[in-house]
Amino acid sequence: MQASYERINYTLRPAKAIERKMLCEAFGKLQNISDLTSYRYVGFGSAFFADFLIIHKHLGLSDLISVEKEQEHRKRFRFNRPYRCIRLRFGDANDVLPTIGWTKKIILWLDYDYKIAESMFTDVGTFISRAQSGSILLLTMDVTPDDLPNNREKKSRYVQLLERIGSLKMPLGIAERDLDGRNYPRACHEIINNEIDESLSRRNGGLENKLIYKQLFNFLYKDGSATMLSIGGIIYETNDEDKIRRCNFEGLEFIKSKRNIFDPYRIRVPNLTFKEMRYLDKWLPSDRTRAIDGKANARFLSNDSIKDYSRIYRYFPNFVEAEMH
């Protein structure tokens, strides 16, 4: 099967690029816990290493590990590695993550390009069971609803999900109606949060200084046809509560710390020209984005486009065409 990086140029997905910049800003607040250079970043770099570029350039992290499951493409990954401080580990994440060493605080981005599956639970369990206080877990998955039953397979969405995660991980009360385009992301959020809680309960069983998981991220966005959900947060010991408070993650608009309700931060990318964006920039930041529509030069822009852009303009990617010689 063709690898996802061969089908998709991850550097040209605007919603994903916005998410990366938002995450980088949030990661910067970890400085209130420990020197950022003491952190290790672990992710799936693929051939583009987009997240590694921004993590190294903007945060200064130099302890970087990229887990690559496409072992047959080793030469290409090594050729495209942008910095020598990125160490490549080849193999499935289930096998590689336990071997990376967990003596440091870690930022782990499990950036899957597929739907929720049983193998994800193993990776979550590895992180929760081994991570140091102050470490970050982020998990991204495809939450496009499964196809409805066809004449050949006749499998409902419930059955398809059951086959991927197993009966023990299926939340009580989940039914076919909960797995359509509107509700499927909510179901995936619940399943992963349940796994985090179970793993944390197992680890805390023998600890005097208990660990806490605080949700920080709950992004929902769409680049092309796939709807993506990114959820995650920080794990910390109870005696580090003051350090977490000093981070003031809630000072960032896109932070979503409530776990008991599904209230994602929706990254919507308006279809604007560069000239239109530069014009709107002149009026931002502003808490009166609707008033911008009344300006003579912006009356042709919809209120929704103006509102969406005003929420993400600081993180908006500037893609330009350049001729290389």
pLDDT value, residue 9 = 44
The answer to whether residues 287 and 153 belong to one domain is no
Residues of 18-50 as b/e, b for ≥16 C-beta within 10 angstroms? bbbbbbbebbebbeebbebeebbbbbbbbbbbb
The answer to whether residues 61 and 178 belong to one domain is yes
pLDDT value, residue 5 = 44
Question: Tens digit of pLDDT for each residue in 133-147?
Answer: 999 999 999 999 998
Counting as low any pLDDT under 70, the low residues of the chain are: 1-12, 150-153, 288-298, 319-325
The answer to whether residues 304 and 214 belong to one domain is no
pLDDT value, residue 66 = 98
The answer to whether residues 224 and 286 belong to one domain is no
The answer to whether residues 286 and 246 belong to one domain is no
pLDDT value, residue 224 = 84
CATH number of domain containing 242: 3.40.50.150
Beta-sheet strand order (sheet of 64-68) = 86-90, 64-68, 40-43, 106-115, 135-142, 226-237, 211-223, 265-267
How is residue 66 written in tokens? 């990229």
What is the span of the domain harbouring residue 53? 4-267
pLDDT value, residue 283 = 87
Is there a contact between 232 and 217 (Cβ–Cβ < 8 Å)? yes
Which of 227, 245, 267 lies at the terminal end of a domain, its last residue? 267
The answer to whether residues 183 and 307 belong to one domain is no
Is there a contact between 302 and 4 (Cβ–Cβ < 8 Å)? no
325 belongs to a structural domain: no
The count of domains in the chain is 2
Which of 267, 284, 303 lies at the terminal end of a domain, its last residue? 267
pLDDT value, residue 6 = 41
The answer to whether residues 55 and 122 belong to one domain is yes
The answer to whether residues 61 and 190 belong to one domain is yes
The answer to whether residues 219 and 278 belong to one domain is no
How is residue 76 written in tokens? 């290409």
pLDDT value, residue 4 = 52
What's the CA dihedral at 146, 152, 154, 155 to 10 degrees? -40
310 belongs to a structural domain: yes
